[in-house]
């Protein structure tokens, strides 16, 4: 663990050193945060399913904008909380992490990688089931599905890290 090299790294480090709200000091609180994150990700899949079923149509477009917009806003907020809760373990550059955080980052990424492989198979089977030979696949649905997968892959390490995190040590214990 070394000092920040750039202004950006300094800002990131300051952001993740912020006070963690008390409700995330318990495993239950952190896991509820992860559940909220999964709910936000689910919105992207709702829009993907709607696109596969209804696109091209106005309904599909409005549902996609509403779900993805809400998913981005709420998901951005929830993931931001997770970054602070995990002290930036999955987001900070390696040289700003100590050996425990670096090991935790590797563990989170390897678990996320396994989950991603599983997700790709689920997506493949879902698309195969949804495709009908008599109807041309809407390109919007492909793009929205790709977006949902991309957002999931990007956030999985953070979700895994938050889920696995042990209870933080209270500050007041300091001598």
Partner 1 sequence: MPTGRDRELVHNRIAVLRAERGVSRRELATALGVHYQTVGYLERGEYSPSLHLALQIAEYFQVPVEVVFSLRPFPLIGSTTS
CA distance 169 to 175: 13
Using rule CB under 8 A, residue 1 touches partner 1: yes
Residue 3 CB: number of other CB atoms within 10 A? 9
Q: Which of 19, 58, 98, 134 binds partner 1 (CB under 8 A)?
A: 98
Tell me which stretch binds partner 1 (CB under 8 A): 58-66, 97-105, 111-119, 141-149. 97-105
Phi, psi of 166 (to 5 degrees): -75, 165
What distance in Å separates the CA atoms of residue 27 and residue 7, rounded to the nearest whole number?
A: 33
2 binds partner 1 (CB under 8 A): yes
Rounded-to-integer distance, Cα 129 and Cα 143, Å: 18
- 30 touches partner 1 by CB under 8 A: no
Is residue 58 near partner 1 by the rule CB under 8 A?
no
Angstrom distance (rounded) from CA 134 to CA 137: 10
Nearest CA to 48 out of 113, 116, 112, 122 is that of 122
- Min CB(173)–partner 1 separation in Å: 7
Tokens of 46: 């709702």
Does 169 sit near partner 1 (CB under 8 A)? Answer: yes
Residues of span 65-94 touching partner 1 by CB under 8 A? 87
CB of 68 or CB of 104, closer to partner 1: 104
Task: Closer to partner 1 by CB, 102 or 119: give it.
Answer: 102
> Residue 166 interacts with partner 1 (CB under 8 A)?
yes
- Which residues contribute to the site for partner 1 (CB under 8 A)? 1-2, 87, 98-101, 166, 168-169, 173-175
């Amino acid at each position: 663990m070394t000092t920040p090299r750039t202004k950006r790294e300094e800002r990131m480090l300051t952001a993740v050193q912020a006070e963690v709200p008390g409700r995330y000091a318990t495993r239950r609180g952190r896991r509820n945060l992860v559940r909220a994150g999964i709910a936000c990700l689910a919105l992207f899949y709702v829009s993907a399913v709607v696109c596969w079923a209804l696109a091209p149509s106005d309904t599909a477009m409005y549902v996609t904008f509403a779900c993805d917009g809400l998913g981005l806003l709420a998901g951005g907020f929830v993931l931001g909380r997770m970054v602070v809760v995990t002290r930036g373990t999955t987001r900070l550059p390696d040289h700003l992490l100590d050996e425990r955080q670096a090991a935790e980052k590797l563990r989170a990424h390897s678990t996320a990688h396994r989950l991603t492989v599983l997700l790709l198979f689920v997506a493949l089977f879902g698309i195969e089931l949804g495709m009908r030979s008599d109807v041309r696949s809407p390109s919007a649905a492909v793009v929205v599905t790709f977006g949902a997968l991309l957002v999931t892959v990007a956030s999985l390490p953070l979700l895994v890290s938050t889920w696995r995190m042990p209870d933080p040590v209270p500050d007041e214990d300091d001598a």
